[in-house]
Structure 1
Amino acid sequence: MSRRRALLAGGAAVVGVGVAGSLTAGGAFADETTDAASSEGACYQLTTETTEGPYYIDADKLRRDITEDQDGIPLLLNLKVIDAESCEPLKDAAVDIWHCNAVGVYSGYEAVGSGGGGGGGGTPPTGTPTGTPTGEPPSGDPTGAPPGGGHQDPTDDERYLRGTWRTDKHGRVAFRTVFPGWYQGRCVHIHVKVHVDGEWTDAGYEGGHTCHTGQLFFSEAAVLASAEVAPYATNTTTRTTLDEDTIYPDNGTEGGLLHLKYLKKHIAKGVVASLTMGVAPDETHDSTDTMPSAS
C-alpha cells in the first residue's frame, strides 16, 4: 500500500453533547432500531463489502469533525469496529468516511455537481420518488464515472465532509458531520473504509491494508424528514429511495443500515447515527472491483 499521510486538524475533537444534547428537547422521539443485532454486546455478522465509488481521496484529513462550513442537519456518527470472527474490538484501526453535502455535491469533485443532476432552487421533493435508476450507479450517469465505481481524479482542492480517525480500545470512533443529501441515481449514504496493521505517526496513518470498504445507509423516513429542511429542500435532483438503490444490499445493519435517533418533528435539531461493523482484519478489501448487488 502506498504511504498514507493525513493532515492533523486542530480543534477537531468531537463533543457528543452538541447533537445528542439537542435530542433531549421536547417532542416525539424516533428511535429507529433496524434489527436485533444492533444491541450492545451482540456478536455481529460480517458487514457487507460494497463499491468504493469514484470519489474517494486517500486519508486526506485526520480529524473527527469533518463539517467545515457545510450547512445541514447536525449528524453525530458513532461507529464500532470489531473482528467479525472473534467479536473482539479492533483498537487503533483507521476509519475513513466521506459523503456528499446537503445538495448532493462531493468535495474535491465540485465540477461534477450533484451527480450531474444539479441541485439548488425549485420545489422540494415530497412523497415517494418516481422512476427507478438504470445503468450502473454511480457510473453511466452524467457524472462520467468509470464503470464499476472506478476512481475519478479530483477536480478541486476542497475537502469538506471527509475525515479519518482512529478507533479506541473498545473499537469505537465518532465523527461530527451533517446529514448527507442525495444525487442522481443513488439513495442517501456515507462511504466508509477501515484500515488495519498500519502505523500512527506524527504525519498520520501509514502502511497497513484496507480490510473493509462499505457504505452506510439511512431509512426512508429520516430522508423524507430531512427533505423538508433547508438546504435539503432546495435539491431538485430526482431522489432514489433505499429500496430502489442498486448498491444497498437490502440486509439491514449487516449491509450498513444505520440505527438512528432524532426528534420526529424536529429532525433539524440533529441526528445520532450508530452501527457496529464486523470486519475480517486479515483480508484486504480496498479496491473498486466490488460490483454493486441488485436489490
Structure 2
Amino acid sequence: MTRRKVVVAGGAAVAAVGVGGGIAVSAFAGETTTDSTSSSAETCYKLTTETTEGPYYIDADKLRQDITEDQEGIPMTLKLKVIDAETCKPVKNAAVDIWHCTALGVYSGYEAMGSGGAGGGSAPTDAPSGTPTDAPSGTPTGEPPSGAPSGGTGGGHSEPTDDERYLRGTWKTDKHGYVTFKTIFPGWYQGRCVHIHVKVHVDGTWTDAGYEGGHTCHTGQLFFSEKSVLASAEVSPYSTNTTTRTTLTEDTIYPQNGHEGGLLYLKYDKKHMAKGVHAHLTMGVAPDETHDSTDTQASASASAS
C-alpha cells in the first residue's frame, strides 16, 4: 500500500459539491462535432490501458474540480466515469488526479524547465538548457520523446522547480463513479501529442484534511483526436505555438487502441470551438491491483498506422 496524504490548501474541509453536472462550459448553439462514434453501450470488461506517469507528477495537493486558475485557453469540461473492469460496477469515492500542460506546453511546478518540462512552445529543442536530449537530466521517459517507447519510469520523477499548481487537481468519484473537472484544452510541446495525465487512487479515506492512504489502481493518459487539435490550433493562444506537433499516430506513449487506450469522446461547436469543449470517457480499472509509475506499457509496442 502506498501511503498518500493530500492537504487541502488553507486547511479547509473538502466541500460537498455534486459531481456530474455542477460544472459546465457554455452551451453549444451552432453545429457541433462529436469525435469518434459514441455509443451508449460503452466498452466494458476491458481495462483502460496503463501508461507512464511521466516525470512531472506532483502528489495531489489541490482538492478541487476547477483546475484552470488564470490559464488562457479553450474552456473544457472533462467528465470521467471509473468502473471496475471485471464487474462494470462504478468505483465510488475514488480519488482521481489529473494534470496537463498549458496552451503553450508548460507544466505548473516545472516552469523553469521550459515548455512541457522539456521542449515545445518557445523552446527550440527537447531539453531546456541546450542539451540534445532529456536523458542527462534523468527524465528520459514520460513527456519527452527520447525514452518514451519503454512506457516505464526510466529516469523517474523530476523534482518541481516552483510552487505553481495550475492545471492540476484531485476530486472524488460520486456513487455512480463519475467525477467532473473544469479546465482548458491542453496545448502541445515537442515530442508528444496533446494529452492529459490521470491517476485513480482507491481504498483511502477522505477526511477534513484531505485524502489519506490507499493505493493507485490506474495510471494513464487521456488523448485527443487530430481534428480537434487542428481546430484548437486556429484559436489563440494555441495559434501562437510554433512548435512542431507530434500527431496522435506518431506519439510513442499513445497505445493506438482508441478509447480503451484513453482516446476521449469530444463534443464542440466546430465553427466556434473557442466557446468550449465537452470531453468524457469511461475508464475500466482493477481496484485490487496497484498500477503506479513503475508500470510498463505493454501495448505501446503496437506500430503506429
State the partner residue of 2:213: 207
The 1:72/1:34 distance shift into structure 2, 3 A limit, reads same
The 1:137/1:98 distance shift into structure 2, 3 A limit, reads closer
Q: Deviations over 1:133-158 (max 9, x none)?
A: xx85534659xxx9636210000000
Counterpart CA distance in 1 for 2:172 and 2:155 is: 26
State the partner residue of 2:90: 89
Counterpart CA distance in 2 for 1:286 and 1:147 is: 9
Identical pairs, percent:
71
Counterpart CA distance in 2 for 1:34 and 1:280 is: 26
Q: Confirm or deny that 1:117 pairs with 2:119.
A: yes
Match of 2:276 among 270, 278, 284: 270
Match of 1:22 among 7, 16, 27: 27
Match of 2:115, SS state, is coil
Q: Confirm or deny that 1:46 pairs with 2:47.
A: yes
Is residue 119–residue 144 contact of structure 2 (8 Å, CA) maintained in 1? no
Match of 1:22, SS state, is coil
Deviation at 1:42, TM superposition (A): 5.5
Is residue 49–residue 285 contact of structure 1 (8 Å, CA) maintained in 2? yes
Is residue 151–residue 288 contact of structure 1 (8 Å, CA) maintained in 2? no
Counterpart amino acid of residue 91 in structure 1: K
State the partner residue of 1:253: 259
What value does the CA root-mean-square deviation take over the aligned residues?
2.6
Instruction: Give structure 1 regions of 4+ aligned residues with deviation exceeding 3 angstroms.
Output: 8-18, 139-142
Deviation at 1:97, TM superposition (A): 0.2
Counterpart CA distance in 1 for 2:169 and 2:23 is: 20
Is residue 5–residue 59 contact of structure 1 (8 Å, CA) maintained in 2? yes
Aligned residues: 275
State the partner residue of 1:179: 185
Counterpart CA distance in 1 for 2:162 and 2:16 is: 23
The 1:95/1:149 distance shift into structure 2, 3 A limit, reads farther
Counterpart CA distance in 1 for 2:45 and 2:185 is: 25
Is residue 148–residue 290 contact of structure 1 (8 Å, CA) maintained in 2? no
Counterpart CA distance in 1 for 2:264 and 2:145 is: 27
Match of 1:198, SS state, is strand
Q: Deviations over 1:84-133 (max 9, x none)?
A: 00000001000000000000000000011114334259xxxxxxxxxxxx
The 1:240/1:41 distance shift into structure 2, 3 A limit, reads closer
Deviation at 1:33, TM superposition (A): 2.8
Counterpart CA distance in 1 for 2:238 and 2:66 is: 21
Q: Confirm or deny that 1:159 pairs with 2:160.
A: no
The 1:176/1:17 distance shift into structure 2, 3 A limit, reads closer
* Residue segments in structure 2 that go unaligned for 5+ positions in a row: 124-139
State the partner residue of 1:283: 289
The 1:213/1:34 distance shift into structure 2, 3 A limit, reads farther
TM-score, length basis structure 1: 0.86
Match of 1:241 among 247, 261, 266: 247
Is residue 197–residue 207 contact of structure 1 (8 Å, CA) maintained in 2? yes
Is residue 12–residue 64 contact of structure 1 (8 Å, CA) maintained in 2? no
Q: Confirm or deny that 1:101 pairs with 2:102.
A: yes
Counterpart CA distance in 1 for 2:84 and 2:279 is: 21
Deviation at 1:196, TM superposition (A): 0.3
Counterpart amino acid of residue 138 in structure 1: E
The 1:47/1:291 distance shift into structure 2, 3 A limit, reads closer
Counterpart CA distance in 2 for 1:216 and 1:165 is: 17
Counterpart CA distance in 1 for 2:185 and 2:246 is: 16
State the partner residue of 2:128: none
Counterpart CA distance in 1 for 2:41 and 2:97 is: 23
Alignment of 1:2-17 (within 5 A): 2-8=3-9, 16=22
* Residue segments in structure 1 that go unaligned for 5+ positions in a row: 122-134
